Structure formats: C-alpha cells, structure tokens
Structure 1
Amino acid sequence: MTDLDAKATLHRYLREARDALLGKLDGLSEYDVRRPLVPTGTNLLGLVKHVTMVTGGYFGETFGRPFPGPLPAVGDDAEPNADMWATADESRDDLIDLWHRVWAHADATIDALPVDAPGSVRWWRGEPVTLHQILTHMLAELNRHAGHADIVRELIDGAAGWRRPGDNVRETGDGWTAHRERLESTARKFA
C-alpha cells in the first residue's frame, strides 16, 4: 500500500466515523441531545463539541494551520470539561455548524499534506508527530466517542444503529428484551 493509499483509507474511515457520531443526534430534541445520562455527564451534544475542539487542534495547530476562528472551551482560561457539554448560550445548530467548519478545515489539512508531514502536539509537551499518527489517533478518538454516543442514544430512546438509528441493527423491542433477560440471567449465576 502506498502512502497515498494509506492516507486515503484513514481519511475515508475518519469521514465515516464522524458521520456516525453526528448521526446519533438525528431526530432528538434539544433537551435529549444535552441530557447527561451517566455519572460523568456524558451527553451527545457534548461529545460532538469535544470532537470538534480536538479536531480543530490536531489538524490545525499541530501542523501550523490553526483553525481560523474561535474554538469554545479551548485555552488556558477554559473551565475543566468545558469541551464536554454545550452551555445554554451554545445552540445545537451553532455547534453543528462549527463541527462542519472545523472538519472542512481538517479535510483541507489532510488533503494538503503528505502522510509523513511533520507536526508537533503542544499538549503532548511538543512531541513530534506525523499526519499519519494524527489520522490514526483521531480515528481512534472519534470511534471511541461514537461508541459512547451509541450507548447514550440507546439510553435516551432505545435507538441503535451504526450511522443512524436502525440502519444496521433491528430496533429495540421484544426480541431485545428477551435477549437482555437471557444475559441478565446468565450474569446472575456469577453474582
């Protein structure tokens, strides 16, 4: 596989993963996309905001191509975990618009640079990296958070699926209820 093929493959999977994460918001109310459903407060819009912020940094500043605009929740004065939730002043539409602009900037960086292009990650104490490393890192980061989003979405309304609810998994209902009860029964044997 050539470097160009490797870059194109990683970029394709990155696009698919970001589509999957954003798709978890489909059909949900403003309230539901903000709901913290686990003890750490993880919520769908917060996951989108977080990935937006890290994408802006990794494909911007790391390669000397800073995102041309403010990134909320980034900077030395940002409160802890500010990137993991949407404030009352941040609308869903505004954050999704920022998501699209940051990803367009990231795509431009990916398209402009060779896979072995050098960069430096300030928040990794200036560690030198390549575009290949950042593509791989961001693919892992994005898929990790898409998995979180899968679980949060299922907790909200029972919807499951790869990119959109129901696109590759049957909807919840009696079949899943029986399956879950079987798993619970098996687990109880080890309690």
Structure 2
Amino acid sequence: MDDKAILHNYLRTRRTSLLAKLEGLSEYDARRPLTPTGTNLLGLVKHVASVELGYFGEVFGRPSELALPWFAEDAEPDADLWAAPGETREQIVELHRLSALHSDATIDELSLDAPGVVPWWPDERRNVTLHQILVHMCVETAHHLGHADILRELIDGRAGQRPEDPNLSLRTQEGWAVHRARIEAAAVAAGAPADGR
C-alpha cells in the first residue's frame, strides 16, 4: 500500500469503530450527555461526519450538496455535537455514511500533494495539502473515538473495539473491580499529605 492508501485505511477503520459504539444502545443511551459539557455518542458521530464534509469538501473545492443547518451563522453554538429532538439516529448515521462517501471520492480523486485551503484556519496555516488533511482527519476521528470509548464504557461497561479486544487485559468483571480498587487506593495514597495528617 502507498502512503495515501495507508492513511485512508486508518480513517475508514476509525469511522467504522466510531459507528460501532452506537450498536445495541437505546435511543436514550445513544443521545444522553455523560460529561458536564454534554458529550454524547450520537453527537460525536454527527460532529465527525459534519467536519469531514468540510475538510474533504469545501477545502478542496468539492462542497457536498448536504445542508448542515447546525453550521449556519444563526445556529446555536455546538449544535453539531448533539442530536436535536427532530433528528433521528438513522438520519445521523446516514449523514455519516454520505459524508464518508463524499470524502472517499475526494481522497480517491486527488493526489496527496493536491492543494487545498481551510478558510476557518488562520491565514498562516490555511494553505494545506490532501496529505495534511488526511492526517488531520485521522487524528480528529481517533480523538473522538477515544471519547466514544469512554462514554460507551460508562453506559454499559463495553470497552475496547470489539469483544475480546486484544488490547484489553483479560479479566472478569470481578477482576476489573479489584484492578480498579487497586488504582483507587494508589491515587488516595498519592494524594495523602506526606506527614500523614
């Protein structure tokens, strides 16, 4: 594989892993905010699909025909990071699919050194190449996949990319509880005053 194919493969894999975080969840669990700033699984999927359309569309003079009202000038802040009451999971997953198709067409058609302009970046950084944007979107998608990993674990305990993920230690639920308690004890000990008071 050449460099472009390697980066494209990484991006595709992260996209698939992000969508997999929604599997088997209720509507409530897919949408519910689990952090003080409102981070939620369906919002992460919506956000990644939305920004990917911009980076592989507008940046290279290939805007999609998909309307994203949450990016309108009069849209409320962070409207791309949650599913509003009128938006369905199916619509957001379809947006993610269409965004990927549009992005894949741009990636397939252009060379890694193809020039682009990111109008929302500062002047000194806005001139880019497809190579830069592929790296940027691999990082952006992996960043939000990390958020999604944690959210999914908080919802139902599912951790890793798939059942029996080789990157996770093999432990029973009880084994994880013992492991967590050991980490908590170490944190408590580290936070205790040195003089024992």
- The two structures share one fold, judged by TM-score above 0.5: yes
Q: Are 2:6 and 1:6 aligned?
A: no
* Cα 1:165/1:51, change in 2 over 3 Å: farther
What percent of counterpart residues are identical? 58
Secondary structure at the aligned position of 1:129 is classed as strand
Question: Contact 1:160–1:172 at 8 Å: present in 2 too?
Answer: no
Cα offsets for 1:75-108 (capped at 9, x unmatched): 2222100010000110000100111001100000
Question: Contact 1:159–1:172 at 8 Å: present in 2 too?
Answer: no
Secondary structure at the aligned position of 2:116 is classed as strand
Cα offsets for 1:27-84 (capped at 9, x unmatched): 1011100010111100000000000110010000000000122124112222100010
* Number of the residue aligned with 2:145: 146
Question: Contact 1:158–1:172 at 8 Å: present in 2 too?
Answer: no
* Number of the residue aligned with 2:183: 183
Q: Distance in 2 between matches of 1:93 and 1:172?
A: 34
Cα offsets for 1:91-139 (capped at 9, x unmatched): 0001001110011000000000000000000111451100000000001
* Number of the residue aligned with 1:124: 121
Q: Distance in 1 between matches of 2:127 and 2:92?
A: 30
Equivalent residue letter for 2:117: S
Quick one: which of 17, 30, 33 aligns to 2:30?
A: 33
Question: Contact 1:24–1:165 at 8 Å: present in 2 too?
Answer: no
* Number of the residue aligned with 1:65: 62
Q: Distance in 2 between matches of 1:7 and 1:13?
A: 10
TM-score normalised over the length of structure 2: 0.91
TM-score normalised over the length of structure 1: 0.93
Secondary structure at the aligned position of 1:8 is classed as helix
Secondary structure at the aligned position of 1:87 is classed as coil
* Cα 1:57/1:171, change in 2 over 3 Å: farther
* Number of the residue aligned with 2:21: 24
Q: Distance in 1 between matches of 2:54 and 2:112?
A: 17
- Stretches of structure 2 that go unaligned for 5 or more consecutive residues are 192-197
Quick one: which of 73, 78, 83 aligns to 1:81?
A: 78
RMSD: 1.5
Q: Are 2:19 and 1:56 aligned?
A: no
Equivalent residue letter for 1:189: A
* Number of the residue aligned with 1:95: 92
* Cα 1:97/1:79, change in 2 over 3 Å: same
After TM superposition, the runs of 4+ consecutive aligned structure 1 residues lying more than 3 A away are: 164-172
Question: Contact 1:160–1:166 at 8 Å: present in 2 too?
Answer: no
Question: Contact 1:33–1:45 at 8 Å: present in 2 too?
Answer: yes
Equivalent residue letter for 1:60: G
